[in-house]
Amino acid sequence: MEKITIPIGPQHPLLKEPLSLLIDIMGENVLGGDLRLGYVHRGIEKLAQTRNYVQNVPLIERVCGICSHVHTTTYCYAVEKLLGIEIPARAQYIRALMCELERIHSHLLWLGILCKHIGLDTIFMHTWHNREMVLDIMEELSGGRVSHAANKIGGVRFDLDQDHGPMVVSILNKLRVEIDKLRDVVMYEPTIRARTQGVAPLSPEEIRQFGVVGPVARASGVDVDFRRDDPLPPYDQLKFSVVTNQAGDAWARTLVRVEEIEESMKICGQILQDLPDGSVEIRASRRVPAGQVVVRAEAPRGELIYFLRSDGSDSPARLKIRTPSLTALSILPKQLSEIQVADIPVVIAGVDLCIACADR
Amino acid sequence: MVQKVISDIESEIGKPYQQLESIINEHVLQIPSEDLRQVVKVLTQKHGYNHLSTITAQITKEDPDYIEVLYHFWKGSGFTLLLRLEKENPVIDSIIDFIPGVDFYEREVAEMYGVHFNLRDGTPPLLLPDDWTEGPPMLTSEKE
């Protein structure tokens, strides 16, 4: 039997975004694979140097179409750190609320895609239907379903009124019922277990070697979450559990994300309960003092890091972005070995790729 | 704790390094580029700094003849190694054998800033097209 290399992408029904994969197979066995990025590279880091700090907020929001809010949160925090200002507590809580809602809808989106790849289209439809509830909340709060434009340097662009809290709680209560059902499906549905258990396991050592972060790392027992380990405010005020699993396979990655949805819903409830009074923004200078700062945040896919250097002018001298998807992609070739051809979609979906994030 | 790590590095390699306050919320240690592998070896194998968040390269207005390369490590808090490479001949040793996950970061710095990494099997393009001929895009003045 001879080795065959099959190209997947850059345009392929399996992929929601452009990525080129070259996968070596022999019969039904996958021998290995390689990947090529860059098909949605937009030069955002270079472009950011040509715009002022305020203009960069909507640019940064477009690094990713799923976790857009955590990008602007990290960027704005970096700028505020250089400005030496702290935004009002109420604004911090609203930022965190949006971050957690974003995590819920990102994980639901991912779960739907996984189920679709497995062939469970009904669960895919249900999952995405449930995701709509979260998008409805975000639209009601910010005006945008995916690009929320919630953040501005110095705070947030909108406040919550007295009806918003009950509305969010009411929708999340409905969602909780649905997530309970989904959790049972993931736990006990034989097809999901058969297609994910024991598939493409990653050891904690491999996770550390490749610097993999987020739910993929936590599903291999690596207990790291930047909301707890290096928290941006107000996460230091919030109580939550970091979900881990020791199995390291595609099933563990699924369970971790489902449990993280539940944890994020609890955080949302806590934020609404403890929401401080006061304003949601303070005035921020358009000129940023010279200096350099590194900010890490926990995006839905893991550690997001921004490096920002100001030379004292009104636009960044250097903005470096490393998204968690890039770390997940770095270990993908390793995962694409010693599996069956039928496992390829589950392995690719399992690491929750966001190519636009990785390409920037 | 970071002070202990720095003094360990200095005693292991046998020379003092300069600590900078150039990043407002992280410890920064400036080292010569030829010491990178030794320092990373001490950091990873002796002190468990296994998580390299990313590598940033930049050219500053104050020092336009050099490329600054920053290795952002993390273990409970951030710790950055800073190296300065001559812009005319930016060469540095790869650390891919210590940290396999550095592959994408080194390739990005190579294509965006023209830095050559020794001790690894080439740096194929990561984000730029295979037929890109216009040179490293970031190797121009910072705000063109």
pLDDT, tens digit, 9 for 90 and up, residues A216-245: 999 999 999 999 999 999 999 999 999 999
Query: Across the interface, which of B26, B70, B101 has its CB nearest the CB of A209?
Result: B101
DSSP state of B18: E
Strands B78-86 and B27-30: parallel
Q: Which ipTM value was assigned to this complex?
A: 0.92
Number of domains in chain A: 1
Instruction: Report how far residue A67's alpha carbon sits from residue B126's, in angstroms, rounded to the nearest whole number.
Output: 22
Q: Between vectors from CA A357 to CA A298 and to CA A201, what angle results, nearest 5°?
A: 70
User: Whole-model pTM?
Assistant: 0.93
Q: How far apart are CA A155 and CA A213, in angstroms?
A: 28
Show which residues on chain A lie within 8 Å of chain B, measured between beta carbons: 37-38, 41, 43, 45-46, 49-50, 81-82, 208-212, 224, 229-230, 291-296, 303, 305, 307, 309, 311, 313, 315, 317-318, 320, 322, 326-327, 329-331, 359-360
* pLDDT tens per residue, range A50-94: 999 999 999 999 998 889 999 999 999 999 999 999 999 999 999
Residue A234: asked if its preceding bond is cis (omega within 30°), the reply is: yes
Instruction: Please give the torsion angle defined by the CA atoms of residues A129, A130, A131 and A137, in that order, rounded to the nearest 10 degrees.
Output: 110
**% of chain A exceeding 70 in pLDDT:** 100
Residue B1 pLDDT > 70:
yes
**Tokens 């990525």, residue?**
A19
Nearest Cα to Cα of residue B81 among B92, B65, B68, B99 = B68
pLDDT, mean of residues A134-158: 93
Q: What are the two backbone dihedrals, phi and then psi, of residue A147, each rounded to the nearest 5 degrees?
A: -95, 105
Q: What angle do CA A135, A233, B80 make, to 5 degrees?
A: 110
Q: Is the pLDDT score of A257 beyond 70?
A: yes
Q: B53, B109, B26, B43: which is closest to A217 by C-alpha?
A: B53
Q: How far apart are CA A88 and CA B4, in angstroms?
A: 36
Is residue B143's pLDDT more than 60?
no
DSSP-assigned letter for residue B23: B
Mean pLDDT across the stretch B40-57? 91
Q: SS3 of B99, please? A: coil
Quick one: which of A238, A293, A351, A301 has its CA closest to A70? A301
Nearest beta carbon to residue A320 from set B52, B56, B61 = B56
Distance CA A147, CA A223 (A): 30
Closest Cα in chain B, distance from residue A155 (Å): 21
Structure tokens at A135: 């998008």
What are the structure tokens assigned to A234, written together?
A: 């107000």
Which is it for the CA torsion A165, A166, A171, A175, positive or negative? positive
pLDDT number for residue B141: 57
Look up the domain containing A295 and give its range: 4-359
What residues contact residue A334 under an 8 Å CB cut-off, 6+ apart? Answer: A206, A210
Q: Is it the case that residue A269 has pLDDT exceeding 60?
A: yes
pLDDT at A198: 86
* Amino acid at residue number B4: K
User: What SS3 string covers chain A?
Assistant: CCCEEEEECCCCCCCCCCCEEEEEEECCEEEEEEEECCCCCCCHHHHHCCCCHHHHHHHHHCCCCCCHHHHHHHHHHHHHHHHCCCCCHHHHHHHHHHHHHHHHHHHHHHHHHHHHHHCCHHHHHHHHHHHHHHHHHHHHHHCCCCCCCCEECCEECCCCCCCHHHHHHHHHHHHHHHHHHHHHHHHHCHHHHHHHCCCCCCCHHHHHHCCCCHHHHHCCCCCCCHHHHCCCCCHHHCCCCCCCCCCCCHHHHHHHHHHHHHHHHHHHHHHHHHCCCCCCECCCCCCCCCEEEEEEEEECCEEEEEEEEECCCCCCCEEEEECHHHHHHHHHHHHCCCEEHHHHHHHHHHCCCCHHHHHC
Nearest-CA distance B124 → chain A (Å): 10
Q: With an 8 Å Cβ cutoff, are A38 and B129 in contact?
A: yes
Length of chain A: 360
User: Which one, of A141, A174, A144, lies nearest residue A160 by Cα?
Assistant: A141
CB contact under 8 A, B72 and A49: no
| Inter-chain touch A330–B103, beta carbons under 8 Å | yes
> In this model, does residue A214 exceed pLDDT 90?
yes
Q: Band of the pLDDT at B144, cuts 50, 70, 90?
A: very low
Output the domain CATH number for residue A21: 1.10.645.10
Q: What is the DSSP letter of B101?
A: G
Chain B residues with CB under 8 Å of A294 CB are 23, 25-26, 72, 78, 80
DSSP designation for B94: -
Query: What CA–CA distance (Å, rounded) separates A292 from A272?
Result: 34
In this prediction, residue B142 carries a pLDDT of 46
Bridge partners, A4 (sequence order) = A25
Cβ contact A318:B58 at 8 Å: yes
- The predicted-structure confidence for A277-287, as pLDDT tens digits, reads as follows 999 999 998 99
- Numbered residues of chain B with Cβ closer than 8 Å to any chain A Cβ: 22-26, 50-54, 56, 58, 60-61, 70, 72, 74, 76-78, 80, 99-105, 125-129, 137-138, 142-144
Q: How far apart are CA A231 and CA A295, in angstroms?
A: 10
* Structure tokens belonging to residue B109: 């710095």
Asked if B129 and A46 come within 8 Å (Cβ–Cβ), the reply is no
